[in-house]
Structures are given as C-alpha cells and as structure tokens.
Copies of this chain bind each other. A is one copy, B any other.
Amino acid sequence: MFLDVAKLAGGSDRRIEILKSAAAAFRRRGYHGASVDEIASALDMTKGNLYYYFQNKEEILFACHDYSLDVLLTLMEQVRAEESPPDDKLRKLILAFVHMLLDELQGTALTLDLQALSPLLLKRIIAKRDRFDRGLREIIQQGIESGLFRPGDAKLIGFAIMGAVNWITKWFDPAGPMSSEAIGRGFADYLVGGLFALPASYSAVSPGFNSNT
C-alpha cells in the first residue's frame, strides 16, 4: 500500500535524512528563516558537510519539493488506475494525501516557499505540481459530468480541496487530540460528501430554517 519513498528522491540515505530535517526547518521558519546550520545541527553534523551532498541551500529546497511531489504523483497514479467511481477515488486521494502529509512528510508538501527558487527550478516544480492538479481536476470533472456531483468549476473545487488539505499543517499538532486518520476522514466526509448532487429542494434558495435549540 505505502510507497517506498526512499527510492523516489534518487539519493543516498544521508540525502534523505537531510531533506527531512530541512523540510521540518523550512516549515517551521520558512526558507529564508531557517539556517543551513540549523538543518545540519539537527542531524549532528556541521553545516559545511551539507555541501558534500548538495550544491547549495536552494538545491535542498528544490529536492524537498521534488521529493514531495514524486510521492504525491505516485499516489495519484495509483488512484487513477483504479476502477471506481469518482467519489471513491477522491476520498481515497484525500485520505492518502492527509496521511502522507502528516505521517510521512512531516507536515511538508506544497507549503514550502516556492518563490525562493530560481526561475529554472521553479518551472520544473510547477510543471510537476500542475500534473497533480490536472489529475485532481479530471476526477472532479468526471463526477460532475456523470451527474454524480452537482455542477461546478472543477478547477476552483480542486484549488479549494488542495487549500483545505495543505492548510492542515498550519494547525495540526501531533501531540493534540486528533489523529491524522480522524482528520483525513473528517476532511473526506466534508470535501467529497459536499460534492454530491442535491435534490431540487436544496437549490439556491435555502430551505426553511428550523431552529430547535
């Protein structure tokens, strides 16, 4: 079920360790706010040593994004290959995304500063991100066209879902009362369940408000 994340980054174990430490630091302090020394110290190594594995700080940020996106794209391919209705696909995607985000990627996916990358590297990351976005929109669009979901702008809905999910890292507390599974289920219930076509009585005009509190 789970991906072999180590193989995706195309690097040694040490490179992966560095990426995880860097991702955590970038998430906490932002790209510019996190120092190279901070990333290295967390691994009990000197900052100079990082430059044996990466050319510079920017390459580390790039690798973080590239790594996360590879994980997400592999996930997307798995889901797309399935023979199931769009709501099932979407639900599975959200569940897995949340799990990846919180349990595997340490809360770091698309939250990291993109604009800190130079144009060339930025372009490559955006291209990958767009592949994921398009896959997501396709699933939503299929649901709408089949009549399972009510009409809507698939692109807008896709952005809304991505925003809701990525935002989790801003408030999630691993030591808090909510498990990543519970969050995934709650989000899937709301974000997928909210797409279904509604009977006529639920159209633009809201139904009678029956206050019984």
Q: Please list the residues of chain A having a beta carbon within 8 angstroms of any beta carbon in chain B.
A: 28-33, 85-88, 113, 115-116, 142, 145-148, 150, 152-153, 156-157, 159-168, 170-171, 178, 183, 186-187, 189-191, 193-196, 198-199, 202, 206-207, 209-213
Contact = CB atoms under 8 A, between A and B. Distances in A.
CB-based closest 7 A-B pairs? A194-B194, A163-B167, A85-B209, A32-B32, A32-B33, A160-B164, A156-B186
How many copies of the polypeptide does the oligomer hold?
Answer: 2
A163 B153 contact: no
Contacts of A29: 32, 113, 115-116
A183 to B, nearest CB: 7
Given A163-B170, A194-B194, A202-B196, A186 B32 contact: no
A146 B210 contact: yes
Contacts of A116: 29-30, 33
Contacts of A152: 186, 189-190
Contacts of A86: 209
15 contacts: A30-B116, A146-B209, A146-B210, A147-B212, A148-B207, A148-B209, A148-B210, A152-B190, A156-B178, A156-B187, A157-B190, A166-B167, A190-B195, A191-B194, A196-B207
A30 B32 contact: yes
A161 B159 contact: no
A171 B160 CA distance: 11
A157 to B, nearest CB: 5
Q: Which of A166, A194, A199 has the most CB of B within 10 A?
A: A194
A92 to B, nearest CB: 12
Given A152-B190, A193-B202, A196-B202, 14 more contacts: A31-B33, A146-B212, A147-B210, A148-B207, A152-B189, A156-B183, A156-B187, A162-B167, A163-B165, A164-B167, A166-B167, A167-B167, A194-B194, A196-B207
